Chain A
Amino acid sequence: MESNKKAAVVVVQLPTEILEEILSRLRVKDLIRFKSVCKTWCQVISSQHLIQQHLNKSVFRAIHYERWVFGPCKSFITPKEKLPRDNLMEFVGSCDGLVCRYNRTQGIIHLSNPAINDDEYKLIIGNTSHMHLIRPYIDNGSWKSTQKIQKTYRYFERIGTLYNGTVHWPVNGSYALSSCTILSYDLQQETIGEIPGPPMIRQTHHSFTIGEVIGCLSAMLLNNKFYEIWVMKEYGIRES
């Protein structure tokens, strides 16, 4: 006991790195409460670095960064505004603790992060001809950039899959299943691209979804009897 007291005189506070090591192992609920311990703790807990550390240790890491909404959008509710009670919101997706909801009749998109505010999120909203990128916490509801889509596609899914900093949607260029491709949106470059779909797609398949399997972009095809899963080992290369 004696010696510990002696050491307490030498070291008053834990270094920030050590504090982060401890805090990043706490549950979110405890973390939020401990913001009121003191100003320093509040700063450390709210920092981008700790959020990332916490996510890295989190068990639920299936979705890495962002998720997307697809549908007509008339207005946008910033995260800090309260939702009117009578709005029926449809759950769209969530990632990193950010929850996205969408009201179909009024065309409202609502984003909220119940835990920690974070301005790094990007949201992609699009229709058949354009894609809009919004940074909800920064742009205050206005489009940051808009990209025109060159061809007309039919979408198999409203919500895209994020892989490697790019969002992907399984799409179809015409009405024949054989022309299935994957539409992509690069979040860094803010560009739209297209990568080839799985090679063995046939008329008998009636569903085409994509996802991430063992760290690779993959496609799941469904025909009458069974599922086929294609894993693209080398990004963008159909044969891999």
Chain B
Amino acid sequence: MVTTDEKGPLTAKKKSVIIRSCDGDEFLVSESAAVLSTSLKKILEEKEDRLIHLSDIDNKTLAMVIAYLSTHADDGLSDDLKRSFDQEFVSGKEFDVLKYLVLATDTLQVTCLCYTVAKKMADIMKNKLVEWVRREFDIQNDYTPEAEAEIRRLDAWAWDDRQLEDD
């Protein structure tokens, strides 16, 4: 997916950037969208080259972030429309996808997208089993069985198994 955002011949001439994902796909982005990311803004201020290579963001995730940035750079859209875009943007996405998205917002320093995604992830994590969390976050349990039993015993009230979900 390639996003172009041309506002006229004058701005288009110098104001666009090419961003390359870790798997080699290239995206053409308007500079006004790119600078909404604090790290891209810094890179653009420092170097003349209009090609940015991101070594830890894959094409799928990058395409999503760019769609987000382009929408938020559009002055023609009202704040309300942008807000409902944000809701649409995260709804229905799998947890795994959100995890890579939130990591990309960290790398690219896009604070408002980070908050939106973090909120969505927290909503999904509600009532989930600890085992589910370990699986989704790829976390190794480093407690001994005794230590884990003890920690669960201390806060027994939070463990109402009837409500907890594993998917």
| A interface residues with partner B (beta carbon < 8 Å) | 3-4, 6-8, 10-15, 17-18, 21-23, 25-27, 29-30, 32-39, 41-42, 114
Contact = CB atoms under 8 A, between A and B. Distances in A.
Given A7-B57, A32-B158, A38-B134, 11 more contacts: A7-B58, A10-B55, A12-B138, A25-B121, A30-B128, A35-B155, A36-B152, A37-B137, A39-B143, A41-B139, A114-B157
B42 to A, nearest CB: 18
Nearest to A17: B106
Contacts of B157: 29, 32, 114
Interface in B115-147: 115, 118-119, 121-123, 125-128, 130, 133-134, 137-143
B77 interface: no
A interface, over-half SS: helix
Contact of B114 (A18, A23, A29): A18
B23 A3 contact: yes
B74 interface: no
Query: Which DSSP category, helix, strand, loop or mixed, fits chain B's interface?
Result: helix
B67 to A, nearest CB: 16
Interface residues of B, number: 44
B100 A4 contact: yes
Interface in B42-77: 55-61
B141 A33 contact: no
29 contacts: A3-B59, A3-B61, A4-B58, A4-B96, A7-B103, A14-B102, A14-B103, A14-B137, A18-B102, A18-B106, A18-B114, A21-B102, A21-B115, A21-B118, A22-B122, A26-B122, A29-B157, A30-B125, A30-B126, A34-B133, A35-B155, A36-B152, A37-B130, A37-B134, A37-B139, A38-B140, A38-B143, A39-B143, A114-B157
A23 B114 CA distance: 13
Contacts of B143: 36, 38-39
Contacts of A29: 157-158
B24 to A, nearest CB: 10
